[in-house]
Amino acid sequence: MIRTRFAPSPTGFMHLGGLRTALYAYIFAKKNGGRFILRIEDTDQERYVEGATKVIYDTLRGCGLDWDEGPDIGGDFGPYIQSERKSLYLPYAKQLIESGDAYYCFCTKDEVDERRKAAEERGEVFKYDKHCLSLTKEEIQAKLDAGVPYVIRHNAPTTGETTYHDLVYGDITTPNDILDDMVLIKQDGMPTYNFANVVDDHLMQISHVIRGTEYLSSTPKYNLLYKALGWDIPEYIHLPPVMRDQHHKLSKRDGDAYFSDFVSRGYLPEALINYLALLGWNPGDEREFFTLSELQDAFSVKGINNAPAIFDIGKLTWFNFEYIRRLPFDKYLEMATPWFEKALGKGRFDLKRLAELMQIRTEVFDRIPDMVRFLAEMPEFPDELYVNKKMKTNPEVALENLQLIKPVLEGISDWTETTIHDTIMPVIAEAGKKNGAVLWPMRIAISGKENTPGGAFEIAYLIGKDETMRRTDAAIARLVSKQ
């Protein structure tokens, strides 16, 4: 059976690159009738962030990526949190010591740092010099008996090459003399990430390891461990990085790294997942919109590119706009209401009508307040807004036409869109005016904005008769003063 895993560290929020890895691991497993496993890799306790595991759960479930085995639901290969598996790793490390593929290292951090500094001063790339590999069994036992702190290091070969096959990047060969003797077991008895993921992937029968290209160079070291322990090596699918541009990764500083940042701004999880799926993968046709089940059907490893994927915020925003436009209206109203109230307060406006006008104009929910704030707070605006060549208006025309409709507006008692429309339109016709020459100045006068959700009648209805008259009077007075 195909078994994939997503193995994040609980060190903060969900990175978009990590979420894409989880997505590919999920849809690859489901496409092939396999199982998707969630494993929490918390061996680095210094970087552990309280609450981060819940963030992982909430993010994956919020995106529809439900796991078949994991910490909170169990499975046949648990526990699924590495810190709860601590006792599993040391026996395998000692097995490697017995076979000569690992050794005890008693060097202190200061000693290693001093050698690293010396290597840097010589212009060399530092790797551990196997200093403790030369210790005799008696010397090692004496240090162990004396309680000298130690780590267990991999004894990497120094000659030859290590080659493995990746389903995206093909055969990859690495000279063994550049491999470092990585630490397998730390002084606190916890395994390093590098060792734990090898042991866990084997014990959990992971068939396909799907992860980012940052692990391409580490994979030869992992494979040496698999071979030394007599285990089958899984298939590898390394994914191209998600970049902000050709030279920069996504970063929290730029506000483009974390899933939660986008959701808090009003991007829909469905839009994010759809867009992330297309970052580094091509379905082989012209389709762009996919449900999660459609992604499962369409996904193929052959469609994964090996070039970095550029994260285009404009493209994501377009996806989000399309997803918002397709929301059931009641769902849109529910999601938009907090954003309306942020700008307008509660109970002052007909939010249902406003939502009807706004749904086809909403690209991202956090842009709503700036789009509707004029309803509650009339902005200052230049008289140049009255100039519209298409509508054949200017400040002089605007003044004339506002004075025309002012008494008509004052005479309306049933303040609805329909009544406003049915009362104003005959007046425009009787005066021999063009509709735009009257309605454009009216909309500018009561909104102060060139672009608004809805036209003059909709805005007049939303702000109410009293406010419409107050703004119309103010506009006329201003235009008169400029004559």
Token representation of residue 172: 């990859």
Among 369, 302, 349, which Cα is nearest to 458's? Answer: 349
* pLDDT for 255: 58
Which of 54, 109, 227, 252 is an active site residue?
252
Q: What is the pLDDT of residue 46?
A: 78
- 16, 61, 275 from 67: Cα distances, Å: 18, 9, 21
Q: Which residue, 364, 385, 198, is CA-closest to 267?
A: 364
Contact 268, 22 (CB under 8 A): no
Asked about 252 being catalytic, the answer comes back as: yes
Helix/strand/coil (H/E/C) assignment for every residue in 382-408: CHHHHCECCCCECHHHHHHHHHHHHHH
Long-range contacts of 361-365 (CB under 8 A, 24+ apart): 361/453, 362/321, 362/324, 362/325, 362/332, 362/336, 363/317, 363/318, 363/320, 363/321, 363/324, 364/265, 364/266, 364/267, 364/317, 364/320, 364/321, 365/265, 365/266, 365/267, 365/324, 365/335, 365/336, 365/339
Q: Which of 2, 41, 42, 9 is nearest to 25 (CA)?
A: 2
Give me the pLDDT at residue 256, please.
64
Q: What is the pLDDT along the chain (483 residues), one digit of tens a residue?
A: 999 999 999 988 889 999 999 999 999 999 999 999 999 999 877 788 889 999 999 999 999 999 999 999 999 999 999 999 999 999 999 999 999 999 999 999 999 999 999 999 999 889 999 999 999 999 999 999 999 999 999 999 999 999 999 999 999 999 999 999 999 999 999 999 999 999 999 999 999 999 999 999 999 999 999 999 999 999 999 999 999 888 888 766 665 689 999 999 999 999 999 999 999 999 999 999 999 999 999 999 999 999 999 999 999 999 999 999 999 999 999 999 999 999 999 999 999 999 999 999 999 999 999 999 999 999 999 999 999 999 999 999 999 999 999 999 999 999 999 999 999 999 999 999 999 999 999 999 999 999 999 999 999 999 999 999 999 999 999 999 987
Residues ≥6 apart with Cβ < 8 Å to 483: 396, 399
The pLDDT score that the predictor gives to residue 483 is 78
- Contact (Cβ atoms closer than 8 angstroms) between residue 309 and residue 243: yes
Quote the pLDDT of residue 11: 86
Residue with tokens 């970049």: 243
Whole-number Cα distances in Å, 399 to 197, 320, 394? 74, 41, 9
DSSP 8-state assignment for residue 204: T
241, two tokens: 């990085």
